[in-house]
Amino acid sequence: MSDPGWTASTYGDAFADVYDDWYRDVSDVDATVATVVELCGGPPARVLELGVGTGRVAVPLARAGLDVTGLDASTEMLARLAANDPDGLVVAVRGDMAGPLPPGRFHAVVVAYNTFFNLTTEADQRRCLTAVADVLAPGGSLLVEAFVPAPTTGTVRHVEARQVDPEGVVIDVSIGDGDRQRVRGQQVHIDGSGRVRLRPWAIRYLTPDQLDALAVESGLEPVERWADWDRSPMTPDAPRHVSRYRR
């Protein structure tokens, strides 16, 4: 990736040790599994999750009978996945979701909860979508879950206390560039003994229409869009979306 100081594994390495505690309930996993299983036609369909992390989504998908491969650039995240998947149901692959991707024909490729935006350049986002088009089975689906950005221009600075308790303090600090649609941040984690841990993150966000356009340029066709994994109708004020594409 060309973003200075940022590699494909930066986020995962920084957040692996707290990810399950902080983000286990960040989205509806049961609804995610139900939707993916239905769209795939059920077991033994093959599913690839990009940015698999600790297996929050991949392990339940595998327990539902799907043949799941999970890709992540972070060895720290993959170690957590292994601990969360003692039966080895998920095939773990270390790699950059910008490609190359694991070979084969997948009935679905899943990119959950803003993970696609962790690709911090348009070139990497385009490479990812092109690679997905190459590994999808005929009629297969790419499913992308992401927030809907508010219109923003110029520089936006943000400081927020995420956690304050006897165990420590977590402060989220970020600077956004609304013109380039990029945000860089740190979660400053101060534990109860006063030790400081910096957890960096960076994203390049897209509007749903921009994501559609990039997908089309990469050989994918927009099929449908929902407001959540329960497939609620998309509305103009929906804070996030789940978008489905196919070859």
pLDDT score at 4 = 64
Quick check: is 5 in a domain?
no
Would residue 88 count as lying in a domain? yes
pLDDT at 167: 87
Domain boundaries, position 42? 10-148+207-246
Looking up residue 182, the CATH number of its domain turns out to be: 2.20.25.570
Q: Does 159 lie in the same domain as 142?
A: no
Could you tell me if 136 and 66 lie in one domain? yes
Q: What pairs with residue 144 in β-bridges?
A: 111, 243
Longest dimension (CA), the chain: 55
CA distance 154 to 201: 20
**Residues 113 and 188 grouped into a single domain:** no
Give how far Cα 5 sits from Cα of 1, 83, 184, 211, Å: 9, 29, 11, 25
For residue 28, what is the domain's CATH number?
Answer: 3.40.50.150
Shared-domain flag, residues 116 and 76: yes
Is residue 144 located within the same domain as residue 160? no
Say whether 10 sits in a helix, a strand or coil: helix
pLDDT confidence of residue 1: 41
- Give all strands (DSSP E) within 19-113, no chain letters: 46-50, 67-72, 91-94, 106-111
2 inside domain: no
What is the number of other CB atoms lying within 10 angstroms of the CB of residue 156? 13
Task: Let me know whether 30 and 100 are in one domain.
Answer: yes
Co-location of 139 and 115 in the same domain: yes
Of 73, 132, 116, nearest in space to 203 by CA: 116
77, part of any domain:
yes
112 and 169: one domain?
Answer: no
Residue 101 has a pLDDT of 98
In a domain, 144, yes or no: yes
32 and 103 in a single domain? The answer is: yes
**Are 101 and 182 part of one and the same domain?**
no
Q: What is the mean pLDDT of each run of 10 residues along the chain (247 residues)?
A: 74 96 95 98 96 98 98 98 98 98 96 97 98 97 98 97 92 98 97 94 98 98 98 98 97
Structural contact between residues 6 and 202, judged by C-beta atoms closer than 8 angstroms: yes
For residue 163, what are its two tokens?
Answer: 């956690």
Q: What is the DSSP string of 27-41?
A: S-HHHHHHHHHHHHT
Pair 179, 109 in one domain: no
What pLDDT is stored for residue 66 in this prediction? Answer: 98
Q: Is residue 164 part of a domain?
A: yes
Please count the structural domains in the chain.
Answer: 2
Same domain, 169 and 76: no
Q: Hey, which bits of the chain come out as E strands? A: 46-50, 67-72, 91-94, 106-111, 136-147, 155-165, 168-177, 182-191, 196-204, 221-226, 240-246
57 located within any domain: yes
Judged on CB neighbours under 10 Å (0-12, 13-18, 19+), 88 is: exposed
Asked if residue 3 is part of any domain, the answer here is no
